Amino acid sequence: MGEFAKDPTLHWLEMYAMAPANYDAPLAAELKLIAGLTVKSAEPLARYTSMKIGGPADYFIDVENEAALANLLSALSRHRENFCLIGNGSNVLISDRGVRGAVIHLAGEFKQAQWGEKDDIPRVDVGAAYAVAQLVRQAARKGYSGLEFAEGIPGSVGGALFMNAGAFGSEFEKVVDQVEAITPGGEPLHLARAQMTFSYRDSHLPEGTIVTRVGLRLHKQESAEVTSKVRELVGKRKSSQPSGFPNSGSMFRNPPGDYAGRLIEAAGLKGKRIGQAQISERHANFIVNHGGAKADDVRRLMELARSEVHKQFGVELVAEVRLLGDWSAN
């Protein structure tokens, strides 16, 4: 595990997925009987990640609705099967050896959004699998402001909520009104905003919780003004972040009062390459895949960046990307 064994950000996504592979025939038979599931065995995960890296999952399960998700989690709990959730595949690095147990992927009704107004205040109730970028664009067309900062944030609404994603001085916590979720045992969970505690890149949701829907509270503004702001922020992202190569977004959280990318560049690592993985020449807090990069190449670059920044500046970088899967032989 190397240095990352001590990293507190590598929590349930990794821990739930490290048991030895065991094909559970009774579980497989039970899953076939649950309506709303599509189950694949030994499914390669690279196609589901923005980094285009990742070995096979023992079970890859598309879930269409909340009833199916509750039944699935209940079955996994009874069979003591490990599980994890993958959204749009950003902010994760999946081992080349894949993931032991079940990988859950939300689809169907989790990709729907319902727009409305209450007491003249715009609101949207959005499924956890809904793409953040699509949500931002729709809000702009409707003349609803509050989500402009999220333009360009990769991934799904559920993932963005879970990690309290943010940019340009704002974060998801500023627009969240309520959250619907399911516990690892399959029980529903409803959280009002007052019941939640957010911090930098963390929602502090109970471990293993799967977010299903998020209620967001926005405010009215001229559509042209919102759209103009979104375009301005798109331009800023394009001028500073890598494009054209698969990546997982920011690899490290920004330390207090500084920027991870600045520190990695100052350590002389901008452009550093291991195999087909490279610390981006445009933004040093990104690692890009030049085609055929291995998960271990990316992880070695992360360990190098963390080690050099600590050695040269005394700053401990904390991973923002989450490691997922079987790293036992790395």
Show which residues are catalytic. Answer: 201, 250, 320
Q: Which two tokens stand for residue 267?
A: 């350590």
Q: What φ, ψ does residue 207 adopt, rounded to 5°?
A: -60, 135
Helices 223-240 & 132-142, crossing angle to 10 degrees? Answer: 150
| HSE-CB of 248 using CA atoms within 13 angstroms | 33
Rounded to whole angstroms, the maximal C-alpha distance in the chain is 57
Cα 266 to Cα 240, 260, 320, distances in angstroms = 16, 10, 20
Helix (H, G, I), strand (E, B) or coil at 160: helix
Helix (H, G, I), strand (E, B) or coil at 264: helix
- Closest to 208 in 3D by CA, of 193, 179, 186: 186
**Number of Cβ atoms within 10 Å of the Cβ of 282:** 16
Helix (H, G, I), strand (E, B) or coil at 63: strand
Distance CA 248, CA 256 (A): 22
Distance CA 310, CA 267 (A): 9
Distance CA 108, CA 290 (A): 33
Q: Cα dihedral sign for 298, 165, 245, 47? A: positive
